[in-house]
Amino acid sequence: MMQPVLDVGTASETVEVTGAAPTLETESASVSRIVPLPSGLPVTTSVSLGKRSLSLDSAGNLFLSRNGGKKWKKINPRWVGKAVRIELKPPSDIGSLPKRDNETPSSVNTTDVFQLTTDANAVWTSKDGTHWHRQ
């Protein structure tokens, strides 16, 4: 009688991995162009409220854009010295701002206001970035 003999062999398995580069969505991409400040100096701080943006350059000059940074206008300061900080503040942090002649209660901005601090620690505020009032 014969006895069958089985030899132990080796097992092998092959795994194939395939992949593709991720797809880039280009249908809704947009690019906005921000124009440098007219002074040519580096921007130290920028704040925005809607399409209005204020930027402060390294020399303390303040610039306003009403169209999201596409065009800049230098603000002629009413303050002495140079601007060292700009920020947005809620009106409750500022106190009462002077009302302009053409403002009605419904046209008064009840959200944030621009606040500027000078190197002499004088604080100025503006609702629109153009008309500044000392606090």
Domain boundaries along the sequence of the chain: 43-134
pLDDT score of 60: 94
pLDDT score of 115: 95
What is the pLDDT of the chain when averaged over all its residues?
Answer: 80
Q: 43-134 in CATH: which number?
A: 2.40.10
Q: Which residue has the higher pLDDT, 53 or 35?
A: 53
Residue 44, amino acid: T
Give the DSSP letter string of 51-110.
Answer: TEEEEEETTS-EEEESSTTSS-EEPPPSSSS-EEEEEEE-HHHH-PPPPPTT--TTTS--
Do 122 and 79 touch, CB atoms closer than 8 A? Answer: yes
Do 77 and 50 touch, CB atoms closer than 8 A? Answer: no
* pTM (two decimals): 0.63
How would residue 59 be classed by pLDDT, with cut points 50, 70 and 90?
very high
Does residue 35 have a pLDDT over 80? no
Residue-wise pLDDT for 86-135, tens only, equals 999 987 765 544 444 554 444 444 678 999 999 999 999 999 999 999 99
Residue 76: closest CA among 60, 56, 62:
62
Q: Which residues does 38 contact at the CB level (< 8 Å), separation at least 6?
A: 63, 72, 74
pLDDT score of 25: 58
How would residue 36 be classed by pLDDT, with cut points 50, 70 and 90?
confident
What is the spatial distance between Cα 50 and Cα 130, in angstroms, rounded to a whole number?
A: 15
pLDDT score of 109: 45
